[in-house]
Structures are given as structure tokens and as C-alpha cells.
Amino acid sequence: MLKLWLIAFLALPLAAGAAPYVSRAGVPDARAISDVPVTLLGIPLYTAALLTPSGRPFRADAPHALELTYARSFSRARLVRSTVAELARLEGPQPDHAAIEAKLATCLKPVAEGDRLAAIAPSAARLTLAFNGAPACTLTERNIGARFLAIWLSPNSRSAATSRKLKGL
């Protein structure tokens, strides 16, 4: 019982910190349904949290958001490069990848330990990125909300197990 209480208590700052902006950006009453640490060879990279309306079970056709809380620093160039590379890996080369890359290069910022980046998809066709709770940019390329979040939520993501955990499965 104590363990369950501790987990719930530790999750409160994450949900409380992200929900107000995420809710205003299109995910009503946004609440975290997961909190998954992501590592590479045992090195912590970030913790990912999936937020859904009122904390309901994840549905790809409903508004949702993914918030990354970084455990280490990454440059803007590395974030942009790795995002575009993952899009290309998941969907093959697409004619709009260059435009997406250009937009990400202007709106993403270098991150340090503790920084939060939220990717908010009120629909499959729209994606708003927020940095530490402040809006950074909105993308409207074809199906961009679903495509961008597939990097973490697709069964073909780099870690299918992490994708399942994020979705509460």
C-alpha cells in the first residue's frame, strides 16, 4: 500500500506541471496515464509521459500529448536530426520531411536535465510543441500529430515495450 501511495504521490508533479498548458492546447483535462523512463545502454535519456483527456485510456483518434522530461542535455541539432531520422525510418522518405525539419529547427531548443518538451496532438492533423510549459510552435503537415507521436507510440517504434507501457497496456 505504501508503495502504491508513493508512486501516486511522485506522479502528481508530472501531471500537474503538464496538464494546464496541454489542456489549453487541445487535450481537455489532460492527465498522465503513464510515466516511463527511457534509457540507452542503461543511461537515462528522458522520462516519457502520455497524457489523455481526464486520464482516460489511450485512443489514437482522441486528443493526447506526450511529455518528455529530459535526464541529460541534448543540442537542438541532435533533437532535430534524430526526430527526422525516426520519421524517415518509420514512414520512409516523404516529400514533407524537409519542411518538417526546417520547422523543427526553428522551434526546438537545446535541452538540459529537467527540461520538459510536450508534443500535443489535439487531432491527427495538428501538433503543438511546448517547451517547459510555453508554446514553441505548431505544425500542420499532413497527419503530423499521428506521424510525430508514432516515434514513441507506434508498435514499430524503437521500443515496442516502451510504446505499450506509455499507452498503459
Task: Over range 72-92, report the average pLDDT.
Answer: 97
What does the pLDDT read at residue 169? 86
Does residue 9 surpass a pLDDT of 70? no
Prediction pTM value:
0.86
pLDDT confidence band for 19 (50 / 70 / 90): low
Span 31-71, pLDDT tens digits: 999 999 999 999 999 999 999 999 999 999 999 999 999 99
Q: Is the pLDDT of residue 3 over 50?
A: no
Total domain count, the chain: 1
CATH number, residue 40? 3.50.70.10
Contact 32, 49 (CB under 8 A): yes
Range of the domain at 9: 2-166
| Grid cell digits, residue 34 | 503513464
Residue 25: other Cβ atoms inside 10 A: 21
Q: Is pLDDT at 6 greater than 80 in this prediction?
A: no
Residue owning grid cell 542503461: 42
In terms of C-beta density within 10 A (0-12 exposed, 13-18 middle, 19 or more buried), how is residue 149 classed? buried
Using 50, 70 and 90 to split pLDDT, how confident is the model at 140?
very high
* pLDDT of res. 162: 95
Q: What is the C-alpha separation between 66 and 169, in angstroms, rounded?
A: 16
Q: 2 pLDDT exceeds 50?
A: no
- What are the pLDDT digits (tens) for 96-134? 999 999 999 999 999 999 999 999 999 989 999 999 999
Q: How confident is the model at residue 13 (pLDDT cuts 50, 70, 90)?
A: very low
